[in-house]
Amino acid sequence: MEFSLLSFLSWYLVFLFSLICHEAAHSYAAWKLGDSTAHASGQVTLDPMPHIMREPYGTVIIPLLMYFRSGWMIGWASAPYDIEWARQYPKRHAVMALAGPASNLGIVIISLILIRIGLGLGFFETTRTSIPEYLVISNGSIVAYTFARVLSIAFYLNCILFLFNILPIPPLDGFSILKLIIPSSIMGLYEKIAINNVFKIVGIIIAWILFASIGIQITTLIRTLI
């Protein structure tokens, strides 16, 4: 893969911003709902440093390795929370879990609106390529070209982050969101599954395989939205 500084910076800045929004949303929701753990750790912020310091592998090392290997980025960050608070207030914990994917959905909506405005005004045009950063392009100035690239990445990446994280599989956010609907009679069993490391590892493997198997359909959906 031929290295492009513009492509690298576009991917990393959008990736880092998207990840930080996700975790800051978790932290802010928890703080407002009675758990100040993340707030006390400085996670209720869009400043990247507290998030990078907490998860340097997921926010720096793995994303960079993935980019130089495949031309796109994946990684992770995390927001601390009080487990006892989550057990005492399962619905609040579910809302906290929902806040992260909701932030990614918000970025998707904003990016899509800007893309559709750009298409409507003739600043952008769609492409047939499968490369995420070229969902739309601009043949105008370098600013318009860069803006089209950034919006393409933001739209694509946050669609992926949203859809992946709402899968109802531990340890993804979607599994915690289930607390909004599951009956209290099985909450004990739910908690045992949620904290079991074996279920977490198996869950990640299942989620990854499932997501990879429907990758073409997801890409088709993303292109249809544009």
Residue-by-residue pLDDT tens, the chain, 226 positions: 557 888 899 999 999 999 999 999 999 999 999 999 999 999 999 999 999 999 999 999 999 998 988 888 888 899 999 999 998 999 999 999 999 999 999 999 999 999 999 999 989 998 887 788 889 999 878 888 999 999 999 999 999 999 989 999 888 999 999 999 988 878 878 888 887 788 788 878 887 787 777 666 777 777 777 7
Indicate yes or no: pTM above 0.85.
Answer: yes
State how far the Cα of 100 lies from the Cα of 3, in Å rounded to an integer: 32
125 DSSP 8-state letter: E
State how far the Cα of 169 lies from the Cα of 192, in Å rounded to an integer: 14
How many whole angstroms from its chain centre is CA 111? 14
- In order of 18, 34, 114, 136, the CA distances from 108 in angstroms are 10, 29, 10, 14
Least Cα distance to 200 among 170, 166, 178, 167 occurs for: 170
Would you say 125 and 119 are in contact if contact means Cβ atoms under 8 Å apart? yes
